[in-house]
Structure 1
Amino acid sequence: MQRRKFLKNSTAATAGLISAPLMAGQTNALNNQITNTTVAVKPIVICTWDFHNASSKAWEILKDGGSSLDAVTEGVMVEENDVNNQTVGIGGRPDRDGNVTLDSCIMDKDGNCGAVLAMQNIANPILVARKVMEETPHVMLAGKGAEQFAHEMGFKKTNLLTEKSKQEWIEWQKTAQYKPIINIENHDTIGMLAIDANGDISGACTTSGMGYKMAGRVGDSPIIGAGLFVDNEVGGATATGVGEEVVRTVGSFLIVELMRQGKSPQEACKEGVERIMAKNKDRDDFQIGFIAINKAGETGGYCIHPGFTYRSYSEEGHVNNPSESYIKS
């Protein structure tokens, strides 16, 4: 049963309980605020880190009139397929048992979403996450169940552990110290947000997670509201870094709600990081980076340590944007 058909019957009975005038008033107020303050920039795509090939691919789709959902899907797949990127997709660093497990999620303009967690042997988890969103009544599938579903959808079994990642894992076992290096092992994610020519927003996030993590560990990346959140009336946000801390603050949802309250994407990302640091007053040994975009196409990024950047691509150009940081040096 397709997801939309499944949801139609279950939601029809409650649709009348929502006040249409109230919802329209809130939407109009937000749209008027954006219209009065800035000229909308669209289409536009942004992504975590300097993934210029990924943002270029997404822009190709957007400039030709494609949807934001297709743009973020195709964009992050560039990194999933890059064996030299050891933090995403095939070639990702394994867990401490030597298994590569992948996490991914996707969210569209209507609030539909799908995710796969700790999935092995499938090279493009973002495509499986999208299938979960579009073809099932569920939001998340995990582990063997996610892999089984992928096979049922026609995805082929793939050995995700490249020789390079395997040899590094063998070397790591000599000490077995779990101390991810800030801005290297910690940039374990590509998160991407896009607005298409229609003004619709979508987002995607995909990762192989922390290298040499405990078997079964899942961070924020496939968790809707933590690693990614989109509200088509407001904007979207996504995260990278130590996912446990993002989960604890439901970071991406928080940032979108701060934008709903009137904060700019930059201000919202800054407060998101500050919330995390307020809960970690005696720690500075980890990195978090947030990026966000609002309905007008304004963007922002903020992180804990210097070194985080995010790519943006629009008619105004293709730019790698240095992020402001909580710790200045």
Structure 2
Amino acid sequence: MLNRRRFLSLGPLAGLLPSLTFGETTSSVTNQPASGPLVISTWKQIKANEAAIAVLSKGGSALDAVEAGVRIPEADPNDTSVGYGGLPDRDGRVTLDACIMDEKGNAGSVTFLEHIMHPISVARAVMEKTPHVMLSGEGALAFALAQGFKKENLLTKESEKNWREWLKTAQYKPVINIERHDTIGMLAIDSKGNISGACTTSGLAYKMNGRVGDSPIIGAGLFVDNEIGGACATGLGELVMRTCGSFLVVELMRQGRTPQQACEEAARRITSKQAYKDIQVGFLAVNKQGQHGAYSIQPGFNFTLYQDKTNRVLEAGSFLK
């Protein structure tokens, strides 16, 4: 195998070997340096990406972009896994989790938050207006109301109908790639090259009351290091929390892995130690050079990428085929 030291020792001959790569895996995801602002989000999130792009196109920050982007599915009553319209827990309560992280390493998070349509904005307020990283439950709600957020009923008639139907059997079983959406995680690079990320969800449908997944946890559902890159996760949060998934992806990139390689290794850490046959976890990552990666355990995970002035939905590679 031709390693870097041996390659450099070839001197002028190295120029005759332009097609050689060093340990990169083959994948359906194309990794090319970004020529401008970049936005990447879990699942099919064209409108969310467009909202983020609108911020970046005006010279806005990556932080403003990811907040604006994920607010779109938070307010969408037809998205049953995020915000307004989210399917409730087994007691019929819509409880929301979210976190946000900027290029300086600052972070804010809310868990088990009820009655507030935009938990991502509350998470940002926690980051910017308190000495804390995370607020939960009644405390998070009291803080949100004190900040001027409006208290609303987030349980739509359709989600309530689905919940009441579920109550007839009360059988709990997460469904892989349900409706091809789940938690939205979003990463952005602005015109200054700064990276920020956001993650927001209503969590697993019909979960136990009080359950919190990986989405609002810094290092699990989301992690950003502006020197290296950022990562986010979607799917069954318990598996991501057990491996500190997003932090792991960023650390692997720090060690020299490409975003694609890092996402694949993070998935392998799960499949090598945990039962995975009937569940889904997906990872997204970007590095400082604008390269991106996407990978999941099960096939069927897609993501939305804005790069080189093109916004498109792509399919991620997977551990199971």
| Normalised TM-score (structure 2) | 0.89
> Is contact 1:87–1:185 with CA below 8 Å preserved after alignment?
no
Cα distance in structure 2, aligned partners of 1:125 and 1:67: 20
- Name the structure 2 match of 1:287: 280
Measured after TM superposition, the shift of residue 39 of structure 1 is 4.6
Measured after TM superposition, the shift of residue 180 of structure 1 is 1.6
> Is contact 2:113–2:140 with CA below 8 Å preserved after alignment?
yes
Deviations along 1:269-303, one digit per CA (max 9) or x if unpaired, are 000000001112x5411000000000011111000
Cα distance in structure 2, aligned partners of 1:94 and 1:135: 29
Cα distance in structure 1, aligned partners of 2:256 and 2:179: 34
Matched, 1:240 2:256: no
The correspondence for 1:222, drawn from 213, 216, 222, is 216
> Is contact 1:185–1:211 with CA below 8 Å preserved after alignment?
no
The correspondence for 1:297, drawn from 274, 290, 296, is 290
Q: Return closer, same or farther for 1:39/1:212 CA change in 2, 3 Å cut-off.
A: closer
3-state DSSP of counterpart to 1:310: strand
Q: Return closer, same or farther for 1:38/1:303 CA change in 2, 3 Å cut-off.
A: closer
Cα distance in structure 2, aligned partners of 1:38 and 1:87: 31
Deviations along 1:223-254, one digit per CA (max 9) or x if unpaired, are 00000000000000000000000000000000
Deviations along 1:81-121, one digit per CA (max 9) or x if unpaired, are 00100000011000000000000000000000000000001
The correspondence for 2:160, drawn from 162, 166, 169, is 166
Measured after TM superposition, the shift of residue 317 of structure 1 is 1.1
Which sections of structure 2, spanning at least 5 residues, go unmatched?
1-30
| Normalised TM-score (structure 1) | 0.87
3-state DSSP of counterpart to 1:321: strand
Superposition pairs of residues 40-189 of structure 1, within 5 angstroms: 40-184=34-178, 187-189=181-183
The total of aligned residue pairs comes to 291
Measured after TM superposition, the shift of residue 310 of structure 1 is 0.8
Superposition pairs of residues 3-22 of structure 1, within 5 angstroms: none
3-state DSSP of counterpart to 2:178: coil
Amino acid at match of 1:191: G
Matched, 1:212 2:210: no
3-state DSSP of counterpart to 1:66: coil
Amino acid at match of 1:53: K
Amino acid at match of 1:63: S
- Name the structure 2 match of 1:19: none
Measured after TM superposition, the shift of residue 161 of structure 1 is 0.3
- Name the structure 1 match of 2:26: none
Measured after TM superposition, the shift of residue 316 of structure 1 is 4.2
Amino acid at match of 2:60: G
Measured after TM superposition, the shift of residue 314 of structure 1 is 2.3
3-state DSSP of counterpart to 2:50: helix
Cα distance in structure 2, aligned partners of 1:302 and 1:314: 18
- Name the structure 2 match of 1:20: none
> Is contact 1:41–1:296 with CA below 8 Å preserved after alignment?
no
Moved over 4 A (4+): 37-40
Deviations along 1:1-29, one digit per CA (max 9) or x if unpaired, are xxxxxxxxxxxxxxxxxxxxxxxxxxxxx
Amino acid at match of 2:215: S
> Is contact 1:43–1:195 with CA below 8 Å preserved after alignment?
yes
3-state DSSP of counterpart to 1:246: helix
3-state DSSP of counterpart to 2:79: coil
Identity among equivalent pairs (%) = 59
